[in-house]
Structure 1
């Protein structure tokens, strides 16, 4: 018997794990957290490599949810796929497809340089499709953040992404008022304040992710729930488009496209405003978001019965590179920018902060929807203040 066959003790590199659908050799550990560890493993007898999540306890809830996910096409809906599940002593091992890296790590490696609107559009479309898929089987992810959105293969498929980590996900019918969920930075206002919850908490978190990708920075602090709620209200007071001068920071756009690009970014900001509505009843749904002009303006609409296995946003993202026909995958604009080795300094992020400061004095006419959103936010802030004083 091999010395590396796991019989007792903790799983280590080189160990052999006996699964239900194959035998796996642990090559290296990719990361760990409160949930357990994730290992890169080779499926013996094949050329397949998987990621195995090693969790203390039964993890039965997560397994059941992953089985629910298997009811829909993981590739079509941009959701990670489970390939095997088995037990080792007191641990549960969940084998999933191996992906590239998280958006959190990707942004960190490029010193938080913001993405272009086209790159964000590609990611946004795929994640909204993922939310629509979850909604179709009555699931809520409950923990959408940069860490849980993975690039599939940034070299061969630039900005193709999948949603991962369903460890705290739940059925919509199980969502209870007052339940604490989501990372505090990405947490929807209704979660902060103990209001009724449903799948719309995911749309808020995704909207926040898109803001971070474009600005290269978090849009509010996270010292306390009260401070976050106050920042949310301030954001609604100014409106997202007032708080961030988005379009002037996209330095990758040629001058002759400036007018068209400005229109596109205006649509992007409008989508963000709808995703980040304080009142969840007014927040945009996945189906509505996919029909938003940010995705449809000036583009051919997908026809009924068309093959949607390849996300439409990926096709949109690649249309501008059609004149550079080649069999070699083109490096995305973000990577081309990084290849010039910009000086390690605040650069665009500091420019954003300066522009935000200068821009906050600008007053814009509010429409009735913006006013309603602001009023709802003020009510939430009042409730947050009451809770803060009470506790």
Structure 2
């Protein structure tokens, strides 16, 4: 009976755009003055907020985080719903960084690259208020609502393509998001545009040239190995976190232990293998993680389904392994990832997929021939191998384990 691989890793937000010149002229005026108001808590529903671009009425509050609150508001001039992020006093530097990132993003087509766009910003007393288009819900809330039940491969493919396009857009303007996680990926409208997503929250975004070796960043659950090890940093750390997000959506749980950095590094190496010694020698913090012996390797679990699903999942796993490459020098780039055979399968929700440029269209045309070549190679496999495959297909209840390479080598005491 045909089979598929059900892969388990066992360790684990359009309104009118604001012009760049206007944003730039306002950015320098972000105020850090203090008043008796220390948080956005004095804001209540039905409050009126005024800016140069419009008048907004607060409908309700959507949530609160470290840097402030997000409120659902209505622009009384246009009668359109918007989301306004109200920054807490003391975090205006974060708002200024995000506005600078918004200026850079305004230089490209944010909609094409699935990036959240700031349409207005103003001050409310000592608080910076940023106005964004109103989206649906985050992938974090979406997964919670479905009790972390894994997504189908087709749904993951749709999300993966859009996030890779986002990385491509950020790379074109030399920006690194630095905080990609489920909370910062928003569904646009799950009813009218299923699994159409946008990357949001650019408060921690940095220019590639401003990345400093040894800087601690990212949520620990999504932290790239080069951040943990103290290696040189660039946009490739965003590729790691996108890969991690996709693996989480497929498995339904965190594939790396959300505990200490040591546990994370251990699990990374057990899944992907030991990094090159030359690579480790560059790390400022390498000695913190490679002085103990950890040999309890884990496995990938297989179950059976149909052959088409098997091929899809195999391609997904291959893409994830290249996105989650421990060595950033070997990690797949956004352009190469968009050409991966995983995207050869026809996407059901065509409007979700932005128009590819000529290079991507040419690459996509070649995907069919690539798959045909792979199938031809499989037909040349020895008869014994084919018999073994047929035998495996008939064993519906049988589970096979793929033993991953041991992660950490023993170091002799001097």
Q: TM-score per shorter chain, which class?
A: 0.7 to 0.9
Name the residue aligned to 2:309.
261
Q: Deviations over 1:73-101 (max 9, x none)?
A: 11110001111011111100000001100
Q: Compute the displacement of 1:235 (Å).
A: 1.3
SS at match of 2:329: helix
Q: How far apart in 2 are the matches of 1:8 and 1:191?
A: 39
Q: What is the CA distance between 1:363 and its match in structure 2?
A: 4.2
Indicate which of 64, 69, 85 corresponds to 1:37.
Answer: 69
Q: Distance in 2 between matches of 1:201 and 1:283?
A: 9
State the distance in 2 between where 1:113 and 1:62 align: 33
1:284 lines up with 2:320 in the alignment? no
1:66 to 102, 117, 133: 102
Tell me what 1:53 maps to: 85
Quote the residue 1:271 is aligned against.
319
Q: How far did 1:223 drift?
A: 1.9
Q: Aligned-pair distance for 1:24? A: 0.4
Q: In the alignment, what sits opposite 1:345?
A: none
C-alpha distance in 2 between matches for 1:208 and 1:191: 15
Separation (CA, whole Å) in 1 of partners of 2:218 and 2:403? 33
Structure 1 segment 204-215 matched on structure 2, within 5 A: 204-215=240-251
Partner residue in 1 for 2:44: 12
Q: What's the secondary structure of 1:273's corresponding residue?
A: helix
Larger radius of gyration: 2
- Taking the aligned partners of 1:244 and 1:45, their CA distance within structure 2 comes to 56
Output the TM-score relative to the length of structure 2: 0.68
Contact 1:76–1:308 (8 Å) recurs in 2: no
Gaps of 5+ in 2: 1-34, 275-297, 365-398
Q: What are the superposed Cα offsets for residues 244-296 of structure 1, whole Å, 9 maximum, x if unpaired?
A: 447x48xxxxx6xx212211111110000000000000000000000000013
Cα distance in 2, alignment partners of residues 359 and 187 from structure 1 = 31
Partner of 2:118: 82
1:149 aligned residue: 185
Which residue of structure 2 aligns with residue 354 of structure 1?
none
Pairwise mapping of residues 309-328 of structure 1 onto structure 2 (< 5 A)? none
The two structures have a TM-score, normalised by structure 1, of 0.72
Match of 2:260 among 221, 224, 229: 224
* Alignment match of 2:167 (pick from 98, 120, 131): 131
Inter-partner Cα distance in structure 2 for 1:63 and 1:363: 47
In structure 2, relative to structure 1, the CA distance for the partners of 1:114 and 1:73 (3 Å cut) is same
CA distance in 2, matches of 1:297, 1:112: 25
Query: Residue 186 of structure 1 aligns with which residue?
Result: 222
Q: Say if 1:243 and 1:359, in contact at 8 Å, map to a contact too.
A: no
In the alignment of these two chains, the number of paired residues is 304
The residue matched to 1:25 in structure 2 has which SS? strand
The alpha carbon displacement at 1:297 in A equals 5.4
CA 1:40–1:214: 2 relative to 1, 3 Å: same
Alignment of 1:238-257 (within 5 A): 243-245=299-301, 248=303
- Provide the rounded CA distance (Å) in 2 between the counterparts of 1:222 and 1:298: 35
* 1: CA distance, partners of 2:311 / 2:265: 30
Q: Deviations over 1:212-243 (max 9, x none)?
A: 100111112122111111111111249xxx84
Maintained 8 Å contact 2:270/2:408:
no
Q: CA RMSD in A?
A: 2.9
In structure 1, runs of 5+ residues without a counterpart are 1-6, 250-254, 317-357, 365-370, 387-391
Q: Distance in 2 between matches of 1:80 and 1:35?
A: 18
Cα gap change, 1:46 to 1:106, in 2 (>3 Å): same
**Greater helix fraction, Structure 1 or Structure 2:** 1
Answering whether residue 189 of structure 2 is matched by residue 158 of structure 1, we say: no
Question: Contact 1:43 / 1:50 at 8 angstroms: preserved in 2?
Answer: yes
